[in-house]
A and B are shown apart, each in its own frame.
Chain A
Amino acid sequence: MPVFRARLAALFLAIGALLLAGSASAQTPGYEQALKGFAEDSFSDTDAAITGVAISGHALAARVIGALQDGRLLFDPAEKKIYLREPPGLLDAATGKPVAGDPPAGLKAVRINNRLRRTIDAALGGLSLLGPDPNRRFEAAQSVFKSRDANALVALDVAIGKEAVPRVKKAMLEARAAIVVTKQGATELEQLEAIAVIRERSDLDARALLGGGLPSGLSANVQQAAADAIAAIDQYLARWRMLQNLWYGISLGSVLLLAAIGLAITFGVMGVINMAHGEMVMLGAYTTFVVQEAIRGYAPGMFDYSLAIAIPAAFVVAGLVGIAIERGVIRFLYGRPLETLLATWGISLILQQAVRTMFGPNNREVGTPAFMSGVVDIGGLAITLNRFWIIIFAGIVFVALLAALRYTTLGLHMRAVTQNRRMASAMAINTGRIDALTFGLGSGIAGLAGVALSQIDNVSPNLGQSYIIDSFLVVVFGGVGNLWGTLVGALTLGVANKFLEPYAGAVLGKIALLVLVILFIQKRPRGLFALKGRAVEA
């Protein structure tokens, strides 16, 4: 690391000098020499080569290091030559000219490990502080904040002077403070100011810097300021943590809601103990996989829309399978809960093994569209985008289902049949058809849950099993036959789970929650929102 720092010093001085001189003439001392290190296939030689290339100031330096980061830097073990793979073809890294004709045989990518990734980050951070893209400049400032390399100070000061975007400028000032507080020879006043800036940042990286990154031998004043800042950051983060737990709880609740809401129809409204419910979820997830495979194969540009296509497809697939199960098996078993339980459990095993035979026992990869990847920080709250969209999706499904039951003819017929079958039949409602459609609707919604779960869980034949118990728990806890009960039940269980988990751990937390639900059911056997009146006897 010290060697690396010394080398990087030259780099930043070179950049600084270049900027101050306002000249763009690229000198290339040692560039080609340094480049040879990439052909040695050893991590320490590659490390030296990165720094060598970075300090050479060659025009291709940033491209070469960027290619190394992405695994596009290739070497020819026989000839010891280095190539860049940049669409559409190969470039000779030494000259920057495209390689004519066939690429040489036996090219290998230059390998990197975590240590080298950090070196690359530091080098690219320095090189891209002045780049055109504000997001890249922001990231560069963040990596300087982490590397705290005193030699980046010159480049950083130049960049701060030029920076117009407030967000990026703030990150650069924080990076500067991180350097000032750790470098040798800063005055006490400078250090105190720097600590104030870092304290203002108030995130985990700031906590890490103040907690363990400070050099020894600081004055008592500075140490006191750092300790105060740590306490303030800890307090600030602890306050946000409550909110963060609530967010986690709502997120878990939305997953439970999605998994359970289909069951609230088949079990809650129709009274069928449907053990194959989880497999409907699994079918939805596999439908997503098939849709994505088709898109990858035929229209790769449409990938971000794959989930939008998978949603109706999963609904139809799971719904049709549900209708087939109802017509083929369950309709002969109405009023015989034990037989229904065993038969649907058998069906769940059959479906699992069928999927295992068709798709293989391994997990299938379902990709995440770009808009669902990543995290957004709001204050001390980290909101992961995939969870955010799942919450939105769960809400939409819930409202749509309520509306369908309330405002459509089919919904009216469903309510009529489940409340009083014989009366409904007398009103010329085809009860058999309604039974099949209701079961299909519940199954189809389970399929929708599968689309969402494919984003956060395994797509494997066992997917459904892990949700079936939780789903029954939610429906029973919320009150059988009541969709609002399912909503409140799912959110209550989710939030309770997430507030218990930090204290009790994941295993004990889950057990504690089960015990609480059992006690609750003892007290209120019909759940949170019990049906009243004649519907109870139906």
Chain B
Amino acid sequence: MTRNFLKTAGAAAALFVLAALPLAGQARAQETIKVGILHSLSGTMAISETTLKDVMLMLIEDQNKKGGLLGKKLEPVVVDPASNWPLFAEKARELISKQKVDAVFGCWTSVSRKSVLPVFRELNSVLFYPVQYEGEESERNVFYTGAAPNQQAIPAVDYLAKEEKVTRWVLAGTDYVYPRTTNKILEAYLKSKGVKAEDIMINYTPFGHSDWQTIVADIKRFGSQGKRTAVVSTINGDANVPFYKELGNQGVSAKDIPVVAFSVGEEELAGLDTKPLLGHLAAWNYFMSVDTPENKAFIAKWKSFIKNDKRVTNDPMEAHVIGFNMWVEAVKKAGTTNADKVIDAIVGVKVPNLTGGISEMLPNHHITKPVLIGEVRADGQFDVVWKTPGLVAGDAWSKELDGSKDLVADWVKLKCGNYNTKTNRCGG
């Protein structure tokens, strides 16, 4: 009897909920603009991506305090793709078709971005991608707010060659698409500058590599041939801590063989004793130590939002700040959140970045950014030792690679992401 009653009650409740859900959904959809946040909150990438989820929540809260957008409140929709690449595509589909979000901010690794591309193309939505990447891509539905190789890798190599008089290069990276492409670009670039093949050593290691003894010894030996040597590191994620620990242990100091890293920022250094690393370098478009009023305000806001005075800020966070503000401006300009209108409106939108400049969205869906070189300080922050005089425009297609130097991306005039200037045709 009781069981039957429970069953009936349960069924009734379920029916009621089912009936009520779509109504509630419709009612709310009219009041709010939904913003999707597609960052891993569990699994291996949670270490980097959780922070980006938090910064998006902060930006949305902030925008709502300013009165929302188009007279409506913004509503964040957070999903967890759990560092699982196919799940990224599923979650993206869920955000766009089920939750009806108007824009998505997310992804970290290139493979996760590649896995969601078909979804964004098919369902015609917009994605803001905040991480430095290997380039060689321009999609109508994606906006790349992180650095392309010419906004990070090439200026860093130029700095070392000019200021540190480096003539011998170790290109060390984790074995996947970003380091491989970046190193290919760098190798071509260095050779075009007259560096001989024997003065370039390329080394790849698996994800999460933890025993660096042999490789650090190899680097030491490579660096003891009488020419000034530097390491260009595209080593990713967890492998960095044991790498730097081994460098410190074997006594490789930045005075002898400096390491310039493209994936090591304030967050990564937070897990490390930085004293043996003094003077090693990183190239980014933003450092927490940059002394501008915009940055100070941002850091203060971040610390009070996250309720922890020790938390740091980093480059991909700034990229989300720029991307979010650009999207807000574009929506205001278009007067709607409709994806096609926003994609047309956002090119040319200019918003201040946190390092004192004004970044602009370019027709190739990349943005203009300054390039900064920082040296590791004892407190885990970076000292900016060099900065490009102006902002650098992001290249979707590298000018250094044979396969891509004839390609241009222009979504305004050419309506094409890979227009071949030799054959005058769209499609590579």
Contacts and interface: CB of A to CB of B under 8 A. Distances in A.
Nearest to B160: A114
19 contacts: A113-B375, A118-B255, A204-B221, A204-B223, A248-B217, A255-B211, A352-B42, A361-B47, A362-B271, A363-B238, A363-B270, A367-B273, A373-B248, A387-B213, A456-B245, A460-B238, A501-B214, A506-B209, A506-B215
Interface of B: 42, 44, 46-47, 50, 163-164, 175, 203-206, 208-211, 213-215, 217-218, 220-221, 223-227, 238, 241-242, 245-246, 248-251, 254-256, 258, 267-268, 270-273, 278-279, 375, 377-378, 383, 385
Q: Which 3 A-B pairs have the closest CB atoms?
A: A212-B226, A363-B271, A211-B226
A370 to B, nearest CB: 12
B82 to A, nearest CB: 10
A328 interface: no
Contacts of B251: 374-375
B206 A248 contact: no
A244 interface: yes
A365 B270 contact: yes
B383 A113 contact: yes
Contact of A382 (B203, B217, B255, B270): B217
Nearest to B377: A71
Contacts of B225: 207-208, 211-212
Given A458-B241, A505-B204, A117 B254 contact: yes
A460 B271 CA distance: 9
Most buried by B among A113, A207, A208, A386: A113
Given A117-B279, A367-B273, A248 B224 contact: no
If over half of A's interface residues share one DSSP class (helix, strand or loop), that class is named, otherwise mixed; here it is helix
Contacts of A146: 256
Interface residues of A, number: 62
Interface string A334-367: 0000000000000000001100100011111101
Contacts of B385: 43, 111, 113
Contacts of B250: 375, 382, 384
A28 to B, nearest CB: 29
B226 A210 contact: yes
A375 B46 contact: no
B279 A457 contact: no
A239 interface: no
A252 B213 contact: yes
Most buried by A among B238, B249, B270, B377: B249
A213 interface: yes
A353 B238 CA distance: 17
A379 to B, nearest CB: 15
Contacts of A252: 211, 213
Contact of A363 (B213, B272, B375, B377): B272
A373 B249 contact: yes
B275 to A, nearest CB: 10
Contacts of A382: 217, 250
A362 B249 contact: no
Given A113-B385, A506-B209, A244 B217 contact: yes
A361 B45 CA distance: 9
Nearest to B208: A466
Given A362-B47, A368-B273, A466-B208, 19 more contacts: A113-B375, A114-B258, A115-B163, A118-B255, A207-B224, A212-B226, A237-B221, A244-B217, A248-B217, A252-B211, A361-B47, A363-B47, A457-B241, A458-B242, A462-B44, A462-B208, A466-B238, A498-B214, A505-B203
